[in-house]
Structure 1
Amino acid sequence: MMQKYKHMLQDREDAAKKLIDIMPMQKFKEEEWHIVAVSKGGLELGRHLKQKLKNPLEILFLEAIMAPHNNECEVARVSETEEIVLNESLINAFEIQYDYIYGEAHRKHEEDILSSIYQYRKGRPFPSMQNRVILLVDEGSETGTKFMTALKTVLNQKPKAVYIAVPVLPRDVLEVLETFVDDIFFLYDIDDYVETDLYYKNLEKIDDEAIENILEENR
């Protein structure tokens, strides 16, 4: 089963082209959907999705909060507007105190997110999405927490509509996300999802300069 999906996408550009085929691009253009990437890879994908169109492209900075004694295990995530999404079942299973989560969320916001905002956006805050049509994008989704944290952030700002575009994601994550958005554009929903880079032949790490350039182009 795993072999079936291995390297089925060349790279982010290939994934974007295939998403464009299934997206309502006329609506995307006319309603001037705001593309909001939920990761650095998502920003690169968003750049290919937008092509030469005038749609605004932005990144929402998020940081994972790990379990106290296991830095591989994500138990929550915080956004740059300090929205937090918790993985209740893991928090309960590990008997993690909520004080720890909120303390870590504050620390990650102060240390990591604020420095990203200054580095990549020259200190500009995330723009208001009130009454806008939003397209959240990422190159893949393993647990759905990036999208859930981004959704919590943008829904608080009272947008007109929210869509998601993601080339690959687990089937159970798709089912959860579908209940929160107007529509999801995806290429593959996979039962036994492993990790996103398995599904791409080439998923290059995106360097700081590339991120700064993409955001600069879109200002």
Structure 2
Amino acid sequence: MQNDEQIYFKNRDVAAFRLLDVLPIDSMKLEDWTVFATSYGGVPIAKIIANRLESNFDLLLSSKIMAPNNEDCEIAIVTESEEVVIHEELAKSFEISLDFIFAKSKQVYDNELMKTVKLYRQDARIEELTNKNVLLVDEGLNTGLTMMACIKTAINLGAKSVSVATPILPSATVPTIETIADDLYYVKKLDHFVFIDFYYDKLENIDFEDVKNIK
């Protein structure tokens, strides 16, 4: 049974406003930003932050690559710009070859991800981010693999700076994100992290149709 003391956010709206408290909004407003959600669940939070920043809002789409014979274990992420980030420790521990991961990533990209991209962007591709400040937002991080893939995607699309904002994440993920992002903003980091849903009182499922309506 979950202890109420372990619930840090009532819902995504509350998480968004608590995240706004740690963001340097006034100084950020001195520059132009594009705010990206990095998951469907991150869209409501990212939208609230984008509105406060008076910035552009978008969703950076990606898909998980799962380990063979284990649908609960993600070993890689492929983004809509074909950036692939691999969980190297898991791949080694399961003796999964890089050839398999890249082949599977290509398959998922062609057969699944691009269908979603075409529906979301009406056949267009994600815009170049040359000389733009990018803020990547999610409802929380588990392994941080998706966020790392999104950071690398923004960098490869030419972003001038890439920052990350999330309400909650594992302490172990902080150094990894800080290594490749310009700034990391969060409300809470935990040494013994369970999973994102555990720390929200109410975290309703958000699907693609919901995202299109929020957009």
The 2-side partners of 1:12 and 1:124 are apart by 29
Matches within 5 A, 1:84-99: 84-99=84-99
Regions of 4+ moved over 3 Å:
2-5
Question: 1:20: which partner in 2?
Answer: 20
Pair 1:210–1:174, CA change in 2 (3 A): same
The 1-side partners of 2:208 and 2:65 are apart by 22
Question: 1:66: which partner in 2?
Answer: 66
**1:53 to partner: Cα distance:** 4.8
User: TM-score by structure 1 length?
Assistant: 0.92
Question: 1:47: which partner in 2?
Answer: 47
The 2-side partners of 1:84 and 1:129 are apart by 18
Aligned residue pair count = 214
Question: 2:122: which partner in 1?
Answer: 122
Tell me which amino acid in the other structure corresponds to 1:48.
I
Question: 1:31: which partner in 2?
Answer: 31
- The alignment partner of 1:51 has SS state of helix
Pair 1:18–1:98, CA change in 2 (3 A): same
The 1-side partners of 2:68 and 2:160 are apart by 38
- The alignment partner of 1:117 has SS state of helix
Quick check: 22-31 or 183-192, which moved more? 22-31
Question: 1:151: which partner in 2?
Answer: 151
**2:25–2:53 Cα contact (<8 Å) kept:** no
**2:33–2:135 Cα contact (<8 Å) kept:** yes
Question: 1:185: which partner in 2?
Answer: 185
The 2-side partners of 1:205 and 1:30 are apart by 35
The 2-side partners of 1:32 and 1:49 are apart by 13
Unpaired runs of 5+ residues, structure 2, are none
**1:49 to partner: Cα distance:** 1.5
The 2-side partners of 1:5 and 1:121 are apart by 41
Unpaired runs of 5+ residues, structure 1, are none
Give the fraction of aligned pairs with identical amino acids, expressed as a percent: 34
The 2-side partners of 1:73 and 1:138 are apart by 20
User: TM-score by structure 2 length?
Assistant: 0.94
1:108 paired with 2:108, answer yes
